[in-house]
Structures are given as C-alpha cells and as structure tokens.
Amino acid sequence: MNKNDILTNEFVVHYELDTETLLIYTIHENRKDSPIRIKLNTLIEMGGDDASKWVGETILLLVPDMRKRLFNLVP
C-alpha cells in the first residue's frame, strides 16, 4: 500500500452509537476510505488523557504536512 493511499488532508470523524465505536475515515477523491475503528470501551480503558492523545495523534499522523513538520516523518 502506498502512503499516498492513506495520508490525506480530509477526514470524517463519526461516532457510531449502536456499536459504541469511533470511526475515523480518510477521504480520497471525494470518497470515504475504510475507517480506523476504536471502541468506546478501549478509549475508556485508556483514560481521558491517553484516549485524547491517541485520537489526536492518529489524525495528525495522517496529514502529510503535519507528519513531516510536527513529527519529522517523511510523508
């Protein structure tokens, strides 16, 4: 899989109430890709601070410019 197939500047974040799952969709060519999924129970087990850090870092690492300039990773 090519990094350009994953990295993007567009997202949809959705909480699915019936499955208690947070979904993070990347958008490519105006289409939602398969989501990154994390269950609410997993986030609860992490605690508020670590869960917030995980969600935030996950999104930031998917943005090419953020990945490069903030984390010093080549996109």
pTM over 0.85: yes
Whether 59 is in a domain gets the answer yes
Whether 37 is in a domain gets the answer yes
Domain span at residue 9 reads: 3-69
Total structural domains in the chain? Answer: 1
Whether 74 is in a domain gets the answer no
Whether 16 is in a domain gets the answer yes
Whether 8 is in a domain gets the answer yes
Band the pLDDT of 3: cuts 50, 70, 90: low
Whether 43 is in a domain gets the answer yes
The long-range contacts involving 56-65, CB below 8 angstroms and separated by at least 24 positions, are: 58/24, 59/11, 59/13, 59/24, 62/6, 62/7, 62/8, 62/11, 62/24, 62/26, 63/7, 63/8, 63/9, 64/7, 64/8, 64/9, 65/9
CA atoms within 13 A on the CB side of 64: 10
Q: How confident is the model over 12-68, as pLDDT tens digits?
A: 999 999 999 999 999 999 999 999 999 999 999 999 999 999 999 999 999 999 999
